Amino acid sequence: MFHQSKSPSRRGVIKSLASASMLLPGMLHEMMAAEANPADPLAPKSPMFPAKAKRVIFLYMSGGASHVDTFDPKPRLQADHHKPYKGQFLHGSPFKAKSYSSSGTEVTEIFPHLGACMDDICLIRSMFNDIPNHPQAILQIHGGSTVQPRPSMGSWVSYGLGTMSKDLPSYVVLAPEVPYGGGAVWDSSFLPAFHQGVRVIPGQEAIPNMTRQGRSDIQDADLGLINFFNQRHLADHDADRTLAARIKSFETAYGMQKEAPEVFDTSKESDATLQLYGIDRNTNKGFGWMCLMARRLAERGVRFVELIDGGYDKYTNWDSHLDIRMHEPRARATDKPIAGLIRDLKSRGMFDDTLIVWTSEFGRKPGDASPDEEGRQHQSAAYSSWLAGGGVKGGLVYGSTDEYGYTIESNPVHIHDLQATILNQLGLDHTKLTFRHAGRDYRLTDVSGHVVNELLA
C-alpha cells in the first residue's frame, strides 16, 4: 500500500507506468502469463447431467395475477356471480373464456395472442405457495424462502452454470420500475456478488455509463494495468470473496461497455421481427422492447434473463384490489410481445433450448366479503403459472382447481417444485446445487421440492 504523504497515489503510479513504455515489457509478460490460466468464476460450467435448456427467460408479473381471469377461467363462477359461498360472495370474471389452438386450452379473451400459442405452452393450474402477502411471496418465488432474502433463482443459475458470454453478465433483469421486494428480487445475497442480476432500465440509457469515454486503446491499456495490480493484490488476499467479486464487477462493466451497445441497438432488426413484438423502430422501452431484448441477450449467451412487469404502483402492476378490469391493460401490454418472443425463438431455432417461465407471486380470490367488490384479494392456495420450450410438454394442462378456483383438486405444484423443475431442465440437481453459508448448506428449494416429471417432454 502506498501512503499518500510519502508516495504518489495508486492511480498516479498506474498512469505513470502507462506512459513509461520502457517499464512495460516485463510487466506485460507477467500479465500475459497470468491470462494464460485465468480464474474466471463466471466461465461456463458443465451441467450435472444432460440439459434440455441452456438458458431461462423468466417473465414475472408483479403484484399477483388472477388465475380465474387469465389462464384458469371458471364457467361456474360466471354462472354463480354474486351468490354467497362460505361466508363470501362469488365474483364472476368480466372477461370471457375462449378455447384456443388444437389443444383446446381455455384462456380468457385478454390473451388472444398467447391463446394462439397454447400448443407450445405447458400450463400449470395447480400452483401454490406458503404466504399470500407480497413481500414473503416475492422472496419465495425468487429465492425460495418467505422469511429472509436469499440468492435469487438467476443468481443460483449463474452460480451453477456461469455465463456463455465473456462480455455480458450471466444474469440480466429488465425492470422499468422497482417491484415489490425491491432489489432483493435479483440479489445474490450470500453468493459471490458477481452472480447478482444486472438491472437494465428501458429508455434512452438502459445502463448508466454504458458508452465508452475517450479512446478505447487507452482505456484498454489503463484497465489492463489496473487488473494486473488487482490480481497481485487478490493473490495476497485470496480468502476475501468480496475483493474477488469487486474485481469481477469491474471486468463485467468493461465487457458490457464493449458488448452492450450492440445488444441494445435494434437498427438491424427486420420490420417483420419488430411487428412480432408489437413495437416500432424508434421504440426503446415498453414490454415489447423488453421481450426483444430478452431474445437478443439470450442469443448472445446470457444465462438467465428476467423481465419484470410492474412496480409498486397498483395502477402499473397486477395488484388489482380496486378493479379486476385493471388486468386488461396489463394483458394488452404483455400478450403480443410474449407470443412474439415464442415465435421469434422458434424461427431462430432457440425455442427448444430456451426455457420460458411465466408466473406471478400468487393468485386472486374468486370471491369477497362484499357483494359490491370489483377487485380481488390475495390468494396463495391456488393459482396458475406456465412454461414453454426448454424440454417441457407443449399443449399440456397440468393440475386443476375446484369449480370456483379456490382450492387445488389435482396435482398440486409448490413453488419449490417449480424451481426444482426449472433447475432440472438446465441440468442441475436442486438438492446438490448448494452453497455453504453460516454453518449450513443452502439451496434454492430450501429443504423440499421435487421435479414435476409429468411436465417434461
pLDDT digits (tens, 9 = 90+) for 131-163: 999 999 999 999 999 999 999 999 999 999 999
CB atoms within 10 A of CB 27: 14
Summarised one tens digit per residue, pLDDT across range 103-121 is 899 999 999 999 999 999 9
The single-letter DSSP state of residue 193 is: G
Would you say residue 188 has pLDDT above 50?
yes
Q: Does 13 have pLDDT greater than 50?
A: no
Which long-range contacts link 268-273 to residues 24+ away (Cβ below 8 Å)?
273/344
Q: Give the pLDDT score at 79.
A: 97
How many CB atoms within 10 Å of residue 16?
A: 11
Mean pLDDT of 79-92: 96
User: Pick from 448, 368, 427: which is nearest to 87 by CA?
Assistant: 368
Q: Which residues, other chains included, contact 339 with Cβ-Cβ below 8 Å and sequence gap of 6+?
A: 113, 114, 116, 117
With cut-offs at 50, 70 and 90, classify the pLDDT of residue 24.
Answer: very low
Q: Each residue of 379-412: pLDDT tens digit?
A: 999 999 999 999 999 999 999 999 999 999 999 9
Residue 28 has pLDDT above 60, yes or no: no
Spatial CA neighbour of 423 closest among 433, 415, 413, 414: 433
Residue 3 CB coordination number (10 Å): 6
Q: Could you tell me whether strands 354-360 and 55-61 are parallel, antiparallel, or unpaired per DSSP bridges? A: parallel
Give 100's pLDDT tier (boundaries 50, 70, 90).
confident
3-state secondary structure at position 157: helix
Cα–Cα distance, 84 to 103 (Å, whole number): 34
Contact 58, 357 (CB under 8 A): yes
- The residue whose grid cell reads 429508455 is 203
The predicted structure's pLDDT at residue 32: 35
Query: How large is the C-alpha radius of gyration of the chain?
Result: 24
CA–CA distance, 189 with 21 (Å, rounded to integer):
43
Tell me: the pLDDT tens digits for 403-424? 999 999 999 999 999 999 999 9
Contact yes or no for 165/263 (Cβ under 8 A): no
By mean pLDDT, which of 13-22, 108-117, 246-255, 281-290 is the weakest?
13-22
- Give the Å distances, CA to CA, from 171 to 210, 340, 402: 17, 22, 38
Provide the residue ranges of all domains of the chain, joining segments of one domain with +.
Answer: 12-35+212-258, 55-206+264-455
Query: Quick one: cell of 215?
Result: 479512446
Residue position matching grid coordinates 445475497 = 189
pLDDT confidence bin for 229, thresholds 50/70/90 = confident
Confidence of residue 254 (pLDDT cuts 50, 70, 90): low
Q: Which residue has the higher pLDDT, 447 or 229?
A: 447
Q: Name the more confident of 187 and 255.
A: 187
What is the average pLDDT score of the chain?
87
How far, CA to CA in Å, does 76 sit from each of 17, 81, 363, 374, 404? 77, 9, 18, 18, 6
How far, in Å, CA of 310 to CA of 315, rounded?
Answer: 9
pLDDT at 20 over 50: no
Check: CATH 3.40.640.10 for 55-206+264-455? no
Band (261; pLDDT cuts 50, 70, 90): confident
Which cell goes with 388? 414453454
**For 149-216, where are the E strands, in sequence order?**
171-174, 198-200
For residue 283, the one-letter residue type is T
- Nearest CA to 199 out of 165, 170, 175 is that of 175
| Whether pLDDT at 212 is above 80 | no
Answer whether 294's CB lies under 8 Å from 174's CB.
Answer: yes
Q: Which residues contact 210 (CB under 8 A, 6 or more apart)?
A: 256, 257, 260, 261, 264
Share of the chain residues as helix, strand and coil, in percent rounded to the nearest 5: 40, 15, 45
How many C-beta atoms lie closer than 10 Å to residue 223's C-beta? 17
pLDDT digits (tens, 9 = 90+) for 30-82: 333 333 334 678 899 999 999 999 999 999 999 999 999 999 999 999 999 99
